[in-house]
Amino acid sequence: MNLVEFFRDDIENEMCVPALFELLGVSYTGNRPLALSLCQKKPHAKALLAAAGLPVPRGVVVERGGAPADLALRYPLMVKPAYDDASGGIDAGSVCHSRAELDARVAMVVGEHGMPALIEEYIDGREIHCAILGNDPAIALPLYEMQFKDGSVDNDGRPMPKIITYRAKWDPYSRDYYAMESRCPVDDLSPAVVSNIQAIALRAYQTLGCRDYARIDIRVRP
């Protein structure tokens, strides 16, 4: 059962472990190397999802030099490292409401994380997760919601936007960790909305070449 998420402290090497299994003819569970690599590279995954007709937020990838002056995106904007996962590089300052905040955040992501920044239009909605299990057929499991608590602040006293930060996932000693709570199943969405979310999740799973199991995270507009 492959639970490796990095090797030698490098998340880029995650895909190399199942690749080695395949070269050695060792059976393993979970996604194949290409799918694992794609899902760590947000711009590449987004391009494939968009090409398949799936809804993704408008955005742009920025390297050194900062965001273009004629950035045709609507504020607030979400800024995250382009090649990371598990909410790496995401905190209360990731949602920007002005050009000054945006420039500072892009400079921080590019400088401290050593990779391009992905800028996207922030979707201020509910955070719904859909787990997928199996292959023939793949099955969408009951939906799971991360509910955000109003009035929450992080350890630095900054108001918490409705996002799952790195600390919210991994640091039980942080305020972020207690700024949300989980709920499953989600029982207040109409059957049509639930069916649509599950259908989108299954199409994303197939588009990215996933296998055995995965989780698709979706933002639902009000």
DSSP 127-160: EEEEEEE-STT-EEPPPEEEEEPTT-B-TTSPBP
The torsion angles phi and psi of 165, rounded to 5 degrees, stand at -80, 170
Place of tokens 């700024």: 179
Confidence band of 101 (pLDDT split at 50, 70, 90): very high
Decide if pLDDT at 222 tops 90.
no
pLDDT at 75: 97
Q: Quickly state the pLDDT bin for 65 (edges 50, 70, 90).
A: confident
> Is the confidence at residue 6, as pLDDT, over 90?
no
Residue 45 has pLDDT above 90, yes or no: yes
pLDDT score of 69: 87
**Averaged pLDDT, 129-151:** 97
Average pLDDT over residues 195-221: 97
Q: What is the mean pLDDT of residues 65-88?
A: 92
Q: DSSP letter at 117?
A: E
pLDDT on residue 73 = 96
The rounded distance, in Å, linking the Cα atoms of 185 and 222 is: 19
Cα(177)–Cα(90) distance, integer angstroms: 13
What confidence score (pLDDT) does residue 197 get?
98
CA distance 17 to 14: 6
Instruction: Tell me, rounded to whole angstroms, the distance of Cα 98 from its chain centroid.
Output: 23
196 backbone dihedrals φ, ψ, rounded to 5°:
-65, -45
Number of neighbours of residue 155 by Cβ within 10 angstroms: 13
User: What percent of the chain shows pLDDT beyond 70?
Assistant: 100
